[in-house]
Amino acid sequence: MERIKSSCIISSAAFSVGKSAIKRYGSFNEKSPSVGDLVFGEVSELGHHRLIESKSGRMHTLNIGTRAIFVFGNRYAPDQYEGVVPDSSQEFVELFSRGGVIGNVKSQNQLVGVTTKIKVLGYVCDNEGHVINTTDYSLISPKKDTRGKAGAKLILCVGTTMNSGKTHAAAACCYALSSMGKNVRAAKITGTASLKDILLMNDCGADYVADFTYFGYPSTYMMEENKLLNMFRTFDLKYGNNPRNYIVVEFADGIFQRETAMLLKMPEIQKRISKLVFCAPDSTAVFGGLYALQDKFGLVPDAISGLCSSSPLAIREIQEFSDIPILQSMEKNYKKIFEIIGK
């Protein structure tokens, strides 16, 4: 095995693995990749992603020859790439995200360019030569469900697709609640490794934040249903037991995305929702989205938000067919937002 320099960039997809464990790498040809396997790799060709996010949340510029710790995983991103873990070892793989998730592209949006290519130098191994996998490391331990009373009020933010404004809506909720003196925790339960979303919620007043990387998952695409529910339940039981507090949760991508749809159909999830915020880019998306929420999941949102809430004209159009309150996430009028979600 070869040593890894202590100055090596460790991507945020490996968030749950302590730096002290990342010291050596070995041959890549010994096993087929698995979700969560850590890889020591080198940038061989620059493409769409030219930055990588480290465990500290810092963005590092990539250059030809940049070496870093990447993580095998799947990705679902209609605006960018659908990617999967390869079936067998290969010398070159593709970078799916700034969080350091790698694999092979299955499909891509025609508006984005080619991927950044990574040369695999070897698996990251422990002292005995075993491949280090993120799923063996969790920063949040499971808890027994001993809740005998109502938990914290849960505000759930969902949307029509990625980049519909869910994270800014969640952050606005955190800001409003904390500004009113409430204790807030926040989480992003599904998606692909990227700390910027939960860090924004933290900046906007959430005392504790977490996402799936805290549980050892580089992404949630193609995760089993029971693992998704267990992750949600574990976060809820750790941070959502006090009925005087609030937890703000975001589900990534749109309501038709595999994992988001599975979670929204679960009775346990539906029972925990105190307020549902539905995000969309425009009024037409709101119109169709409201029907889809009702038809597919039996849900009616308590507020409409997202990119549409930034446009007075879009708001006017929405108000012609719906009387659901509109949460203007960029305005951050905390008293107005609290009136919508805090009661």
Within a domain: residue 146?
no
Do residues 181 and 36 both lie within one domain? no
- Domain span including residue 253: 153-341
> Which residues lie below 8 Å from residue 134, measured CB to CB, with a gap of 6+?
13, 14, 15, 16, 17, 36, 38, 71, 213, 216, 217, 218
Within a domain: residue 148?
no
Give the length of the chain.
Answer: 343
What does each of the 343 residues of the chain score in pLDDT, given as a tens digit? Answer: 899 999 999 999 999 999 999 999 997 777 899 999 999 999 999 999 999 999 999 999 999 999 999 999 999 999 999 999 999 999 999 999 999 999 999 999 999 999 999 999 999 999 888 999 999 999 998 877 777 678 999 999 999 999 999 999 999 999 999 999 999 999 999 999 999 999 999 999 999 999 999 999 999 999 999 999 999 999 999 999 899 999 999 999 999 999 999 999 999 999 999 999 999 999 999 999 999 999 999 999 999 999 999 999 999 999 999 999 999 999 889 999 999 999 8
Do residues 125 and 159 both lie within one domain? no
Q: How far is CA 240 from CA 92, 145, 151, 165, 249, in A?
A: 43, 11, 6, 24, 11
Q: Report d(CA 175, CA 173) in Å as an integer.
A: 5
Note the pTM of the prediction, 2 decimals: 0.95
Q: Report d(CA 214, CA 217) in Å as an integer.
A: 7
Do residues 103 and 206 both lie within one domain? no
Tell me which of 111, 136, 161 is where a domain ends.
136
Number of Cβ atoms within 10 Å of the Cβ of 298: 10
Do residues 108 and 252 both lie within one domain? no
Do residues 132 and 158 both lie within one domain? no
Within a domain: residue 143?
no
Within a domain: residue 145?
no
CATH code assigned at 281: 3.40.50.300
**Total domains, the chain:** 2
| Closest C-alpha to 121, from 85, 74, 67, 191 | 67
CA 282 to chain centre: 23
